[in-house]
Amino acid sequence: MRKHLIIIMLFLSMWGLMVGCDHKTTGVVVSSSEGVKEDKDAPFVEGNKNIMRRENEEIQMFIARYGWQMQRTPTGLYVEVLCPGEGELFHEGDRVAMEYRTFLLSGEQIYSSDSNGVKVFVVNRSDEIDALHEVAQTLKPGAKARLVIPSYLAYGVAGDGDQIQGLQPIVMAIRVLDKDEKLPENYKIKPYNAIK
């Protein structure tokens, strides 16, 4: 009996040491791997910050060159409302139609509703650049505005696969159509995240 008690006590004490060692080892490994991960990611994070900083400087120089009186939203979108429009603001789920002209910061016009058709989308529920979903909720029917859009609110790292390169900010002049204006026949709305 005494022999069994000694074996049980010896087993419990060794088990306690093993659990204690595993806990310490696990803690060291986790903190070590987190430290390594942070060090590995640091150059990428810093590189992205530098890209965004340079892009923002380029945008501000562009705005200053033309003397536009733009407001910067918390997301980084620059907006100048030229005509406020009338009626109620658009909300998530509302269908919005816009006439537009899209430019590069060089001043070259690359797209327009005259040649590509009116943009029609459902706010926050269809496939359109983030900047247009954001600005649609701040404008009333009939509003006109200028937008300077950083790349991360436009076509991002990949670009649009056509005339807008990756990491390229764009400029848009838009006019929100009144809700009672007749929409063109080509107003099909692409579902959100649809492949273009």
Q: What is the pLDDT of residues 78-135, one digit of tens each?
A: 999 999 999 999 999 888 999 999 999 999 999 999 999 899 999 999 889 999 999 9
Q: Are residues 76 and 27 in the same domain?
A: no
Nearest to 98 by CA among 78, 65, 71, 122: 122
* Mean residue pLDDT across the chain: 80
* CATH code: domain of residue 141: 3.10.50.40
Q: What b-and-e string marks burial along 110-138, b requiring 16 or more CB atoms within 10 Å of the CB?
A: ebebeeeebbbbbbbebebbbbbbbbbee
Residue 120, C-beta contacts closer than 8 angstroms, at least 6 positions apart: 95, 96, 97, 98, 183, 187, 188, 189
Structural domain that includes position 145: 71-176
- Token pair 């909720």 is found at 137
Q: Are residues 80 and 168 in the same domain?
A: yes
Domain membership of residue 96 (yes or no) is: yes
Nearest to 151 by CA among 127, 130, 128, 121: 130
pLDDT for 42 equals: 79
Q: Are residues 104 and 133 in the same domain?
A: yes
Better pLDDT: 50 or 23: 50
Q: Are residues 170 and 99 in the same domain?
A: yes
Separation CA 29–CA 23 (nearest Å): 10
What's the alpha-carbon Rg for the chain, to the nearest Å? 28
Helix, coil or strand: residue 38: helix
Separation CA 87–CA 91 (nearest Å): 12
Q: Are residues 24 and 79 in the same domain?
A: no
Indicate whether 52 pLDDT > 50.
yes
Q: Which two tokens mark 106? A: 């060089």
**Over pLDDT 90: what percentage of the chain?**
59
pTM of model > 0.85: no
Q: Which two tokens mark 40? A: 């590995």
Better pLDDT: 6 or 58: 58
pLDDT for 192 equals: 34
Q: Are residues 111 and 54 in the same domain?
A: no
As for how many domains the chain has, the answer is 2
pLDDT for 40 equals: 77
Q: How far is CA 182 from CA 115, 148, 178, 186, in A?
A: 18, 28, 9, 12
Q: Are residues 62 and 92 in the same domain?
A: no
